[in-house]
Amino acid sequence: MSKYYWISLTNDCNFSCEYCYQKKKAKTIMNEYTAERIIDLLNLNDSIELIHFFGGEPFMNFPIMNKIVSNLNVNVEKFSITTNLSLLNNDYINFLENYNFNLLLSIDGNKQSHNMGRKTLTNKDTFDNVFKNLKILSKSNISKNISIAKTLTIKNYKNLYDDFLFFNNLGFNTNVNVDMNLKESKESFDIEILKENIKKIISFVMNNDCIDFWNIKEYINVYNNFKLGKKYKNTLSSCTNKENSIISISENGNLYPCHFLYEYDNQGYFPQNIFSFNNIKDIESTFKESFIKNYYFKNLSEYEILKIVESEINSKNCNYCKYIDFCSDKIVDSAKESCFYKRYNLRNNYNSIEKNTLCFQKLFFDSISELLKEGEKNLYNCL
């Protein structure tokens, strides 16, 4: 049976974030009938490593989440949730503590950065309420389970260093993932400003005991490998080794090999539904067989990988870059280890394994190189 389940409780949300991919979808919410079917499926397992709840804003459907969690008779190693933190109350905190939830909080940075892209449905700022709840949560028994997801956009990139300092000064240890949503052309923003922010963050990380932000130390190690002439080796966590062990279930019972495929509903990807099966025991085997045999999800061929490398090099103007050989290895490695979602994208004429034309690898490498030339000796501690 599967070991990882991602469950969408609703695609509705009380925020209207400018970069949300679900904004144009019809709003649906999981009902008790669907929840009971999911409970039956989950209870077929001997054990489950992870059940992750998300949305929309999952706390908008808290009764169903509570129903699912409290009716499981299978051992679940870890529960987790992605939330905008706006609806937190004492009952919800008690629930999260009782089941020792991990939390991924969607926060874009300080007040200015957060309010730029994360508004209510009536276009009001959200930071004050979110920050109030964050301070309450930081004093709970699960403060050590908090991670943060920040979205870097064309509006807030100039505040990147200030946002890093904001997260670092929250008063508890956390890690911050940065999702890059810079779909505009390179000319839409000042690369030098972004680079200067990155340099400040790298210098701070190397000189201070601080939070894990944007895998900065990993970039330092990767740069070291480049200087030593080593081939690229990905050491970051990936979903690839979990393939065929994940089932993602939408609020209406649709089944997916990856929750990112939700955005392609009825746009070339047509999911099966949990109610399409007379025997619930047949769900996993039949569902998995259907997408494993699907051309769009098969491992990439050598020819496809070659075309990806060519596309990446052309889109980012890499031909005269000093990192081209190293990054070519990185692209090949990323393509070979690409997940269901990336392979689906690549085979639907997206042509690139990354969604941004700006090369962040070069930005990080150049920043590290310049800091070393400027005499940032503490950088060598990680090299």
pLDDT at residue 137, rounded to an integer = 97
**Stretch 217-233: mean pLDDT, rounded?**
81
Both tokens of 4, joined, read 């990882």
Domain range 4-240, CATH class: alpha beta
* pLDDT per residue as tens digits for the range 170-184: 999 999 999 988 765
Residue 242 in this model has a pLDDT that exceeds 70: no
Q: Which residue has tokens 């997260």?
A: 167
Report the distance separating Cα 249 and Cα 283, nearest Å: 12
* pLDDT per residue as tens digits for the range 25-58: 778 999 999 999 999 999 999 999 999 999 999 9
Report the distance separating Cα 117 and Cα 156, nearest Å: 8
* pLDDT per residue as tens digits for the range 65-99: 999 999 999 999 999 999 999 999 999 999 999 99
DSSP, collapsed to helix, strand or coil, labels residue 5 as strand
Query: Any idea where the domains of the chain sit in the sequence?
Result: 4-240, 302-371
pLDDT at residue 185, rounded to an integer = 45
Strand partners, 246: 4
For residues 261 and 221, the answer to whether their CB atoms sit within 8 Å is no
**Stretch 236-248: mean pLDDT, rounded?**
68
For residues 181 and 153, the answer to whether their CB atoms sit within 8 Å is yes
pTM of the model: 0.91
**Stretch 289-294: mean pLDDT, rounded?**
76
Report the distance separating Cα 43 and Cα 346, nearest Å: 35
Residue 350 in this model has a pLDDT that exceeds 70: no
